[in-house]
Amino acid sequence: MGISIRPHSAEYAGAVLRFNQRLNAGGAEDWMQAEPQPEARWLPKKEGESLYNETFLAVENDEVRGSYVLKHQNFSFGGNQIHSIGYYHHPVSEGTIDKTYAPVGALMIRDAIRRQPMLYALGMDGPGKPLPQMLKLLGWKIWLVPFYFLVLRPFRFLRQMEIIRENARNRLLADLAAFSGFGYLGINAAHALRRMRRAAATYSVKCVPVFENWTNDVWHSGKIQYSMVAVRDSSVLKKLYPASEQHFTRLQVFRNDRVVGWAVIAQRGPKPRFGNLRVGSVVDCFAAPEDASLIAHAAADALKERGFDMLVTNQSNTAWGKAFKHCGFFEGPSNFLFAASPQLSRLLDPFDRTKVQTHFTRGDGDGLPRSF
Tens digit of pLDDT for each residue in 179-233? 444 334 444 545 555 554 444 458 999 999 999 999 999 999 999 999 999 999 9
Minimum mean pLDDT among 55-59, 85-89, 156-160, 361-365: which range?
156-160
Q: At what angle do helices 182-196 and 168-180 cross, to 10 degrees?
A: 80
3-116 domain in CATH 3.40.630.30?
yes
331 — pLDDT class (breaks 50, 70, 90): very high
In this chain, the answer to whether the domains covering 3-116 and 147-333 adopt an identical fold is: yes
157 — pLDDT class (breaks 50, 70, 90): low
> Which contacts (CB < 8 Å, 24+ apart) does range 241-244 have?
241/210, 241/211, 241/284, 241/368, 242/210, 243/209, 243/210
**Do 122 and 143 contact (CB within 8 A), yes or no?**
no
Domain ranges in the chain?
3-116, 147-333
Q: Which pLDDT belongs to residue 170?
A: 43
Alpha carbons 106 and 90: distance in angstroms, whole number: 14
List, in sequence order, the alpha helices (H) in the chain: 13-25, 104-115, 130-137, 154-160, 168-180, 182-196, 214-222, 234-240, 292-304, 318-326, 342-347, 351-354, 368-371
**Do 314 and 361 contact (CB within 8 A), yes or no?**
yes
Alpha carbons 306 and 293: distance in angstroms, whole number: 20
Provide, rounded to the nearest whole percent, the portion of the chain with pLDDT above 70: 84
**What average pLDDT score do residues 159-186 get?**
46
Q: Which pLDDT belongs to residue 319?
A: 98
State which fold the 147-333 domain adopts: Aminopeptidase (3.40.630)
Q: Which pLDDT belongs to residue 142?
A: 97
